[in-house]
Amino acid sequence: MSNPKPASPAAGGTQQAPPREPWIIRTYAGFGDAVQANRRFHENLKQGQRGLSIAFDLPTQNGYDCDAPIARGEVGKAGVSVSHWQDMDALFEGIDLGAINTSMTINATAPWLLALYLVVAEKRGVPWDKLRGTTQNDLLKEYVARGTSIFQPEVSLRLSTELIRFCVERVPNWNPINCCGYHYMESGATPAEEIGYAFGNAMMILDALRPHLAPAAFEQTVRRISFFINSGIELVPEICKVRAYFQLWRDLCAHEYAIPGVAFRAGCQVRSLTLTAQQPEINIVRIAYEALPVVLSANARVNALQLPGFREALGLPDQAEQLLSLRTQQILMYETEVARYGDIFEGSKIIEAQTAEIADRARAIAMELRQAGYQRAIEIISGQLTRRLTERQARLEAGEIIQVGVNAFTGEIGLAAVEPAQDDVAAQAAAQARRIDDLRQWRSRRDNGAVASARDKLERAAAAQSDIMEATLEMARAGATVGEWTQSLERATRGRYTPPVLDSAGAMQMLRVPKARRPVRIALGKAGLDGHVNAVKLLAHACRQAGMEVIIAGFKQTPAQLVETALQEDAEILGVSSMAGAHLTIAAEIMELLRRHNAQHVSVIIGGIIPERDRAALTNLGVKAVFTPHDAMLHDIVERVLAVAAQEGRQDGRPG
């Protein structure tokens, strides 16, 4: 492989990539509005990024426009806000859609976001067969791990398969689905489970598509299925896992669908679960090590790789962190020369034996899910992940797993700022207000008659369970918004679906937690639109094992819904998880609602991605306990919850 030549200083230090790169270098980026995100894209491309991986904000992922009440405080926070085709056009200003490879991390609203992308390509004169990229479009993992599902499972499966069929026929070089193993590993899955869940999902989708496609089209569909995988810190198991991914998929396609020689095509991000708020500097080392397993094997190398920011446990990466992630990949690609050699693990007894063992177990898991069907698979995976999470936490707290900075070798290093720069709350509120104003002006300028007509066509198509993509494209061309598209499908189907936070996980690993000295009723729920429920699952099980009565208030809840649950269930503690940076807004609303209901006897505790600097502000609002990413041990968290209960008990005369 030839070495890249440095560009002139006038080019800002940009390097010219060699003709053939062993994988596509990406960073996961998107924030604010389309104009802000576009500037970040251009900067990253100038610094050597070769493809775009777009993060959409939580309102967009959950099918809400920026002026929806539930979106307050979350617009443009965890990604870029995109509602209509002009937003998409601004997002790609100055970027050739026919030349760039674009990955969209979008699931429930994937048909809509792809439609906007296609409409922008039309307006720019770019033929659809020139477009290359991916829509994630994988809902199974949303129900069990990530939480941005919108519709009922059977509706989601139908929308996913319709999008795939449309792309095979009309956008032939686009990857219409990224079956994700990534989120299963983030939720505790073993290497074999990660593969088995991802492949089981892929086969259920292919089985649903097969009756509707001619043999040639079905073969093309099988060959276009792509995956998004995880890579952890355990080097040997992860190397074997990646090799098992490559070998097993080819084998399954040959034996189950009689299609030989199918390539396993995958992107990867390394494991975020290992990245700690404690000693964040050492996450730089973790990230580099975690990138190795997916690029070392010449016969098992991912097509694209993106690395997180080293302070991911504390917040989204800023430009400097993203640049560091790019440079980490560039060192790996160019300086280590890993791509110069053939498959360096071929013939290794240890690697090949463990690869075969992982592949055999993954095959059995995939077949079990395929036999169970989509709805039952959600229940199976969810229960298993809950058990795995609890087992891992028990091992961490017992010291059986060593995590540097968390349960061993503790104390801060101090080489880098412990937390990202403070958000300007007033500026963010002003930005959201501008975004809402822009959207309202957009609605006033467009042809609302054309929008209404297209919405009617979409609703009729969805109600009849016929193809929704043509009507979706018509809505996109007319200037409709993501919220309108989602509302139309809600009306035509069975409305929004909220899966349970907890599941029937069966016998659970016992955690070493303190015991309550008296009955304590605690309501737990997630505020805002983030759907990650792992922390709530773990805390709920820990509180139950401590002897508390736990009421699950649900997730994607408004402050009013959380307060209503706490009052209806006579909870003395309301525990709120907030992951998307809106904790100050959420806490202020909850405390005001409790005051209005004269319910100050309900103690509020809050945890999530909360900077340490906000602890005092939350305490001043009346929050009794604040848990930040530094609080990693369930024993200590439960102890503090019980201390809150004891303090409040003494005030109203109950025993502590």
- pLDDT for the residue 281: 94
CA–CA gap between residue 55 and residue 519 (Å, rounded):
43
Q: How confident is the model at residue 47 (pLDDT cuts 50, 70, 90)?
A: very high
Quick count: other Cβ atoms within 10 Å of Cβ 285? 12
Bridge partner residues of 304 (DSSP): 24, 267
Tell me the per-residue pLDDT of 424-464, one tens digit each, with 9 for 90 and over: 667 778 888 999 999 999 999 999 999 999 999 999 999 99
* CB distance 110 to 178 below 8 Å: no
- pLDDT for the residue 507: 59
Written as six digits, the tokens of 40 are: 């970040």
- pLDDT for the residue 653: 53
Tell me the per-residue pLDDT of 254-289, one tens digit each, with 9 for 90 and over: 999 999 999 999 999 999 989 999 999 999 999 999
With vertex at residue 634, the alpha carbon angle to CA 284 and CA 314, rounded to the nearest 5 degrees, is 30
Written as six digits, the tokens of 194 are: 């990660």
Q: Does the pLDDT at position 392 exceed 50?
A: yes
Amino acid at residue number 116? L
Q: Does the pLDDT at position 422 exceed 60?
A: yes
- pLDDT for the residue 618: 95
Q: How confident is the model at residue 611 (pLDDT cuts 50, 70, 90)?
A: confident
User: Residue 499 region, left (φ>0) first, then alpha (ψ -120 to 50), else beta?
Assistant: beta
Tell me the per-residue pLDDT of 186-219, one tens digit each, with 9 for 90 and over: 999 999 999 999 999 999 999 999 999 999 999 9
Tell me the per-residue pLDDT of 285-307, one tens digit each, with 9 for 90 and over: 999 999 999 999 999 999 999 99
Q: How confident is the model at residue 11 (pLDDT cuts 50, 70, 90)?
A: very low
- pLDDT for the residue 44: 92
- pLDDT for the residue 21: 85
Q: Does the pLDDT at position 500 exceed 90?
A: no
Measuring CA to CA, which residue among 474, 436, 468, 482 is closest to residue 452? Answer: 474
CA–CA gap between residue 194 and residue 237 (Å, rounded):
12
Q: Which domains does the chain have, with CATH numbers?
A: 425-492 (no CATH), 521-651 (3.40.50.280)
- pLDDT for the residue 498: 75
- pLDDT for the residue 649: 61
CA–CA gap between residue 633 and residue 470 (Å, rounded):
51
For residues 343-357, b (16+ Cβ closer than 10 Å) or e, as one string? eebeeeeebeebbee
- pLDDT for the residue 330: 95
* CB distance 514 to 635 below 8 Å: yes
- pLDDT for the residue 89: 98
- pLDDT for the residue 428: 78
Q: Does the pLDDT at position 603 exceed 60?
A: yes
Q: Which helix (H) or strand (E) holds 203?
A: helix 191-209
User: Residue 411 region, left (φ>0) first, then alpha (ψ -120 to 50), else beta?
Assistant: left
